[in-house]
Structure 1
Amino acid sequence: MSDVETLKAEIKKLSARAMNAKMNLHDLSEELPLNWQTVLDVAQKTYDAFAELEAKREQLKTLETA
């Protein structure tokens, strides 16, 4: 498996993780004010998931243009 293929597979997994985090944050927002104490934790996990996904996409773009 090439580096590009490996990175694409990793991006696919990260994308699913990011979408799951997004849905968790969305669900939490609909339940407010219940569980308001977890807002920062859930938001941080969502932020981290999307940041990692964006970094991997940039890595892929760099590999594909090289």
Structure 2
Amino acid sequence: MSDADALKAEIKKLSARATNAKMNLHDLSEELPVNWTSIPEVAKAAYDAFVALEAARKTLAKLEAV
């Protein structure tokens, strides 16, 4: 498996994780004001998931550009 193929597989995992984090944030927003104290934790998890996904996509773009 090439580096690009491995990274594509990782991107699929990161994308699923980011989608899950987005849904957790969405679900939390619909339940407000219940569990309002968990906003920073849930938002940070979503932020971190999307940062990781974006970084992996940029790395893949650089690999494919070569």
Q: TM-score scaled by structure 1?
A: 0.99
Gaps of 5+ in 2: none
Aligned to 1:55: 55
Cα RMSD (Å) of the superposition?
A: 0.2
Q: How many residues align?
A: 66
Gaps of 5+ in 1: none
- 1:1-46 Cα shifts (integer Å, max 9, x gaps): 0000000000000000000000000000000000000000000000
Task: Report the Cα distance in structure 1 between the residues aligned to 2:14 and 2:39, rounded to whole angstroms.
Answer: 21
Q: What is the one-letter code of the residue matched to 1:7?
A: L
Percent identity, aligned pairs only? 67
Q: How does 1:1-66 map to 2 (within 5 A)?
A: 1-66=1-66
Task: Report the Cα distance in structure 1 between the residues aligned to 2:64 and 2:36, rounded to whole angstroms.
Answer: 43
Q: TM-score scaled by structure 2?
A: 0.99
